[in-house]
Structure 1
Amino acid sequence: MAEPILKWAGGKRQLLDELYARFPTDHDRYHEPFIGGGALFFDLEPPDATINDANPRLVNFYEQVRDDPEALIDRLASFDDPEADPDPSLPYDETTARDRSVESYYYQQRARFNRRPYESEFDPLTEAALLLYLNRTCYNGLYRENADGGFNVPVGRYANPDWVQRDRIRRASDVLATTTIRNDDFAYVLDVAEPGDLVYFDPPYEPMSATASFNEYSADGFDREDQRRLLDVAGALDEAGVWVVVSNSGVMYEPYAEAGLHVDVEGATRAINSDPDNRDAVDEIVATNVPPDERLDGGQRGLPEF
């Protein structure tokens, strides 16, 4: 079974059984417009699927995993321990582009990652390798961008971090081999989904309160107008005979119920939190247009912890 390679905010490892329980007994092509870490996608291993994300770096990463897994593994294997000294043969071994001191190998790679979109030459393989390296060595595995789109998470403290992820990359590459990978707006699915297909939406969550935020993983964010558009897209798919499953925060219960979907509240555990003791359960909803008597019987097991 394939497993997610990246740690990603809002991962669905612990919600897999609840999601499968809302699947139809049978469906055709599978589409996931907000792929993120891909917990459900890699567990399902669907043939001829489409996946999408608004984050171009994440999309590039999956393209490299699909198209050139061994080269990606080799590039990752060449990286050093995050607390090692900076590599003098690479850029930013002393200061960042903003003239800030570089304290270790990790911060040198972070500086390289953040400058790459502005440099004249772009190496998608290096970009993908840096993304996974930083994801697996940064503090708590948190992907976060500032307002300028820069990755700004500090280094983590791990005894033996595994940033190469050989087995996961190879298994994921096999699953992605027949997958169409897109960097579009989520509404692309209106053009590709056919009657009998299944679409799973896992958008950045509507905040549970004025101070809580589930959408800080991207500089662009995902606002309430996007949430309303998502409701409209789900409704259009329903009318077209496409199966729809959506997960979101509990505050979206009423909008989905009013749209005519079957909605249930599920408990979920925060996958990423700076305080491990505060990864408490929060309300999530799972909404679907699949009638209860047409759903898949039983769920599949959840993925192991990272």
Structure 2
Amino acid sequence: MAEPILKWAGGKRQLLDELYARFPASYGRYHEPFVGGGALFFDLEPADAAINDANPRLIGFYERVRDEPEALIERLEAFDDPDADPDPSLPYHEETARGRDVESYYYQQRARFNRRPYEGAFDPLEEAALLLYLNRTCYNGLYRENADGGFNVPAGRYANPDWVQRDRIRRASDVLAEAAIRNDDFAYVLDAADPGDLVYFDPPYEPMSATASFNEYSADGFDREDQRRLLDVASELDEAGVRVVLSNSGVMYEPYADAGFRVETEDATRAINSDPDSRDAVDEIVATNVPPEDRGSAGQRELSGF
């Protein structure tokens, strides 16, 4: 069984049973326009699938997992402890591209990862390795970009961080082998999905309050207008005979119910929060156009912890 390789805000490990419960008993191709950490995709292991995300570095990572798993593992094995001194044989061992002092090995690798947004150059394999290394050693496993697209999460504190993830990379590579991987706006699915296909939408959530926003996964963000566009896309897919399952925050209950989707509220615990004691259950909706009589009975496979 494949498992997610990356920690990712909004991951759906704890919601898999509820999502599977809305899946149709049979469907054509599987589409996931907001793949993120891929908890559902890797658990499902679909034989015919297309995944997409707006973050180009995330998509580049999945392409390298699919196409060069052993080379990626080899790069990851070469990294040092995040608290070690910067490597003088690598760039940015003294200061970043923006002239800031480099305090440790972690911050040197963060500066190397930010070559693409700050300098317009990158090596795809090295960038993929750096993404996983930073994901497993940064504060709280958080992915966040500033307005310029630079990854800006500080170092975390871990006793023995495992950034190589050999087994997960190899299993994920097998699942991704036949999948189409895209870096587009989510609306591409209007042209890609055929009647009878299944689309699962897991967008950056509409905030529960004015101060609850956490959609800085990429510099472009995901705003209220994007939420409206997504509702329009889901409605068009429904009219075209495409099966749709969607998760979002509880404040989106009425818009999807008013559009004719079957909507139910579920409790989900947030996987990423600066205070582990504050990772409480929050209202989350699951909306679908799949009638109860057309749904299957497949359940969640067990996922181990990170």
Classify the TM-score, shorter chain: over 0.9
How far is the alpha carbon of 1:214 from its aligned partner? Answer: 2.9
* Residue of structure 2 in register with 1:102 after alignment: 102
Cα deviation digits, residues 35-89 of structure 1 (max 9, x gap): 0000000000001210000000000000000000000000000010100110000
State the secondary structure of the residue aligned to 2:115: helix
Aligned to 2:184: 184
Letter of the 1:199 counterpart: V
Shift of 1:136: 0.3
**Alpha carbons 2:52, 2:183 under 8 Å: kept:** yes
Aligned Cα root-mean-square deviation (Å): 1.0
Deviation for aligned residue 1:120: 6.1
Alignment-derived partner of residue 233 in structure 2: 233
State the 1:276 CA deviation.
0.3
Q: How many residues align?
A: 306
Stretches of structure 2 lacking an aligned partner (at least 5 in a row) = none
Separation in 2, partners of 1:219, 1:25: 38
In 1: Cα distance, 2:278 partner to 2:118 partner: 38
- 1:114-263 correspondence to structure 2 within 5 Å: 114-119=114-119, 121-263=121-263
TM-score normalised by structure 2 residue count: 0.98
Deviation at 1:101, TM superposition (A): 1.1
Letter in 1 for 2:58: L
2:287 maps to 287
- SS of 1:209 mapped into structure 2: coil
Task: Please give the TM-score of this superposition, normalised by the length of structure 1.
Answer: 0.98
Q: Is the 8 A contact 2:246 2:288 kept in 1?
A: yes
Fraction of identical pairs, as percent: 85
- Code of the aligned partner of 1:218: S
Question: For each residue in 1:208-234, what CA deviation from the matched residue of structure 2 results, as whole angstroms up to 9, or x when unmatched?
Answer: 001101312221111111111111111
How many angstroms apart in 1 are the aligned matches of 2:197 and 2:19?
16
Q: CA deviation at 1:118?
A: 4.2
Q: Which AA in structure 2 matches 1:95?
A: E
The Cα of 1:31 is off from its aligned counterpart by 0.2
Match of 2:14 in 1: 14
CA distance in 2 between counterparts of 1:170 and 1:37 reads 16
Contact preservation (8 Å) 1:16, 1:302: no
Q: Is 1:44 the equivalent of 2:44?
A: yes
* 1:111 counterpart residue number: 111
Answer whether contact 1:15 1:302 (CA < 8 A) is retained.
no
Match of 1:87 in 2: 87
CA offsets, 1:268-294, max 9 Å, x none?
001000000000000000000001111
Structure-2 separation of matches of 1:119 and 1:72: 23
- Alpha-carbon separation, structure 1, partners of 2:117 and 2:275: 32
Aligned partner letter, 1:86? P
Residue 75 in structure 1 maps to residue 72 in structure 2 = no
Q: Could you tell me whether the CA contact under 8 Å between 2:248 and 2:286 is conserved in 1?
A: yes
Provide the rounded CA distance (Å) in 2 between the counterparts of 1:285 and 1:38: 19
Q: Distance in 1 between matches of 2:2 and 2:17?
A: 17
Would the aligned equivalents of 1:14 and 1:303 in 2 still touch at CA under 8 Å? no
Equivalent residue number for residue 30 of structure 1? 30
User: Deviating runs (4+, > 6 A) in structure 1?
Assistant: none
- Cα distance in 2, alignment partners of residues 254 and 303 from structure 1: 32
Distance 2:230 2:150 in 1: 27
**Runs of 5+ consecutive residues of structure 1 not aligned to the other structure:** none
CA shift in 2, pair 1:108/1:234, >3 Å: same
**Is the contact made by 1:52 and 1:181 (CA closer than 8 Å) also made in structure 2?**
yes
